[in-house]
Amino acid sequence: MSRSTPKPIPRGSVPGSVDKAENSLCMGHLQHIESDGLLRVLVPGAGELSVAWLENASQFQVRLQPGETMLIIRVGQGGVPVAMGRIGRYEAQPDSLTLNGTSQLSLQ
């Protein structure tokens, strides 16, 4: 089984990438998700930026919604900012799920 290798984003290729602050963390608010998968995030003092999403095993099925607060890292001059995750309250997933159907049950 082969896994596809993520394509690196060339430095400075994303409009709105930050050149001012190197290696800094900041908070921003998700505005929308672009068709290419980049996030548009409003960062106070920096405006609206295009940022990449850090994908890892624990965030594999995260569903992002506009308005959510994100933790952003700005790396290197001309580098693409990266959303490390969203900021909010932790909600534990249920340990079990019970489904009851009296005559018919359909799952899609």
- Band the pLDDT of 59: cuts 50, 70, 90: low
Which tens digit of pLDDT belongs to each residue from 3-40? Answer: 445 455 554 444 444 445 567 889 999 999 999 989 99
Establish if 17 belongs to a structural domain: no
Q: Could you give phi then psi for residue 73, rounded to 5 degrees? A: -115, 135
Domain membership of residue 77 as a residue range: 24-87
How many structural domains comprise the chain? 1
Closest CA to 44 of 19, 22, 70: 70
Mean pLDDT calculated for residue range 63-78: 86
Establish if 83 belongs to a structural domain: yes
Establish if 75 belongs to a structural domain: yes
Q: Is the pLDDT reported for residue 79 higher than 50?
A: yes
Write down the pLDDT at residue 19.
43
Establish if 47 belongs to a structural domain: yes
The chain-wide mean pLDDT, for the chain, equals: 77
Establish if 1 belongs to a structural domain: no
CATH number of residue 41's parent domain: 2.40.50.140
